[in-house]
Each structure stands twice: as structure tokens, then as C-alpha cells.
Amino acid sequence: MPVKATSGSSLRAPLRLVCAALGLAALALHPGSALADIFTYTDADGTVHFSNRRTGDGRFKLYIKGDDKGGASKRAGVAPVAPSDKSLERFSRYDAWIRQAAALYQIPEELVRAVIKCESDYDPRAVSPVGAQGLMQLMPETALRMQVRDAFDARENIFGGTRYLRILANLFNGDLDLTIAGYNAGEGAVMRYGGIPPYEETQAYVTRVRTYYARYRTTRDATVASIEP
């Protein structure tokens, strides 16, 4: 898969990926082109297959819708809800679920915390202008893919968001920066540009998540690490 590694950081876990009907490569090499739908299925051996077109094989299901979030600023019909919970207790309220999800999906607990901090500042009621919801700001389409029934349910949201991080980490061969960029801009955008997309928001997001990731790894007290520097 023509995705450029941008750091030595790794979130590797065993999963085999196969790019079928390699239109994916063409998309990644032509940033100006429209992003096609991407379809996937997992075979009996656990190998994940991708295609950028329907192949007549009924096993392929839609994985990425052919759009690009880079220019999106607001989605029609969305009523944004800014994070408003200012209690220090919120930084430790979800500890058990964060640990469970991190262990289940083999994602560093500190990365899950960093994403929650940067996405919603630990407020499960938050809604972004484009419609992302809850602690880990899942888009409705992503929540559906991650089998999250209620994105405002803190436990469901944490498990769904962490599962998505695991999928992204596997898709991008454990590369931390690409995993974080994919969480913000969508895996399709990362594949399209062959690296971190050239969006100011995404580039700033990668830096911010990495900053908090480092803080959570070096500061034992999650509440202290969560407070804005």
C-alpha cells in the first residue's frame, strides 16, 4: 500500500492486509483526483482485502465512502455542542473503560486518553460542527462501522473509538502519525495523499495528540497530564 511512514513509532498488531484491484495505489498518487468508495472483506484466514470498486464478489462491503473531510467545516442539520464539563473528576471518570478498551484492542492506554482529550476534553455530550459525537467524537458513519449503537454512551464510545484506532494502526502498519491522522481526516484521505493529509487541522491535530500522548506516558497522574499546559 503506497502510504509513507512518517515516524519510528509503532502500534503494530498481527493483521494481514491485501489491496485488491489496485486502484488504491492510483488514488494515493493523484492527490487532485476524487476519492473513490473503498470496499473490504476479511477471508477465512483473517486476511483483509480491499478494492476501490465492486467486483461482483458479494463478500465485499463498503468500508470508506468516497468523500473527503478535508474541506468540511459544518454539516447541514447539525447542532454543535461544545465541551462544557469543567470538573477535574472527568479526567479519571472513565479510567476502567479506557483500560479495558486499550487492553482489548492492544492500543496504548495513553493514546486513547490523548485522543479523548483532544477530541472532546472528556465531555461525552460534545458534538462537533460536522456531527462527530461523544468522548472520542465518532462520526455517525464511523460509529455504525464500529458497531456503536449510542455514541453518547461513554463506554460504547470509548470501545468504538479504540477499535477504530486499532483498525487504523493495522491499516497503516503501526505508524503512529498516520494512525492519528487517519482518526482525524479519515483513512481514505491518508491513503489518497500517501501520508498525513495537507490539512492544517489534521497536521495540528497530529501534533496535539502526540503532545498529550507523551504527557500521559511521562506523568503518572492522568488528571495532571490532562490539564492544559
The residues annotated as belonging to the active site are 119
Alpha carbon 118 to its chain centroid, in Å, reads 12
Q: Which of 156, 189, 159, 198 lies closest to 171 in space, CA to CA?
A: 189
Eight-state DSSP code of residue 36: P
Distance CA 9, CA 113 (A): 17
Distance CA 79, CA 100 (A): 31
CA gap 101, 161 in Å, rounded: 9
